[in-house]
């Protein structure tokens, strides 16, 4: 079975400071990894994904994420946080291997990011 | 291109009633998935449709069902509503069933069961 853990329910960061939102995953094979953001009363917006290749993935709105296979992590980062980045962030995984349940996206519980002016 | 649209955006129903939610995917997208989002359980996969066939189903009771039409539009139905069915129901579409493809989400339907 595949699973995702986002160890922090909330992350607070000052505007202009770097931000990190943590994600670790568990799959039987190799993963496809995704980050989504959700603003209040909105659906999820796709930010970036890791498929293969370079471990540092760049995405929308200046976000990037680093895939670390040995630590089974895929942390989301941004060099300089904006107040408008305040939202709920979700990490998600799919197992590349076939098998029951491997197609569905499995999400973490989400991390609420608050950027303080 | 227009994004994923869901109707209605808000619904209030009474216990025991049934409800049908609608989703129109992005033009050209053939895979449609449904998720339930609640504060306690987070995002949970309901089911996925492709080419009018249910391909995957999450761990939900049989009261939750869905279908997909030839134009890829999808509906989900919940019968005999319970208070615990109150949630945001999200529809997502994807170009194909390739696992590397991201899903694009609609704004959701907020269902309140009283």
Q: Which residue of B has its CA nearest to A41?
A: B107
Residue B97's pLDDT band (cuts 50, 70, 90)? confident
Please indicate whether residue B72 or residue B98 has the higher confidence score (pLDDT): B72
* CB-based burial label for B28 (10 Å; 0-12, 13-18, 19+): exposed
pLDDT tens across B17-56, in order?
Answer: 999 999 999 999 999 999 999 998 999 999 999 999 999 8
* Mean local confidence (pLDDT), A65-73: 96
Which residues in chain A have Cβ-Cβ distances shorter than 8 Å to B55? 103
Mean pLDDT of B56-69: 95
Cα B81 → chain centroid: 16
Mean pLDDT, to the nearest integer, of A33-43? 92
Contacts of A43 in chain B (CB under 8 A): 4, 90, 105-108
Angle at A112 between CA A73 and CA B13, to 5 degrees: 115
* pLDDT classification of A110: cutoffs 50, 70, 90: very high
Mean pLDDT score of chain B, rounded to an integer? 94
For testing the chain A interface, which of B25, B40, B43, B103 should be mutated: the one with the most A CBs within 10 Å? B43
B13 closest CA partner among B90, B108, B109, B105: B109
**Cα gap A26→A3, rounded to integer Å:** 5
């Amino acid at each position: 079975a595949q699973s995702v853990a986002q160890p922090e329910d909330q992350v607070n960061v000052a505007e202009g400071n770097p931000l990190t939102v943590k994600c670790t995953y568990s799959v039987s094979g190799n993963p496809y990894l995704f980050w989504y953001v959700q603003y209040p009363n909105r659906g999820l917006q796709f930010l970036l994904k890791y498929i293969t290749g370079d471990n540092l993935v760049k995405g929308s709105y200046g976000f990037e994420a680093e895939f670390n296979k040995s630590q089974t992590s895929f942390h989301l980062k941004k060099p300089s946080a904006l107040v408008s980045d305040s939202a709920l962030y979700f990490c998600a995984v799919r197992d590349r291997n076939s098998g029951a349940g491997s197609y569905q996206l499995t999400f973490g519980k989400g991390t609420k990011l608050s950027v303080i002016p | 291109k227009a994004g994923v649209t869901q109707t209605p955006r808000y619904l209030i129903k009474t216990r025991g009633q049934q409800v049908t939610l609608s989703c129109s995917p992005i033009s050209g997208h053939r895979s449609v998935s449904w998720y339930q989002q609640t504060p306690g359980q987070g995002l949970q996969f309901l089911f996925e449709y492709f080419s009018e066939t249910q391909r995957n189903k999450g761990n939900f009771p049989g009261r939750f069902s869905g279908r997909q039409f030839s134009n890829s539009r999808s509906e989900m139905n919940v019968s005999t509503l319970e208070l615990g069915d109150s949630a945001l129901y999200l529809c997502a579409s994807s170009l194909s069933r390739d696992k590397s493809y991201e899903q694009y989400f609609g704004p959701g339907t907020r269902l309140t069961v009283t």
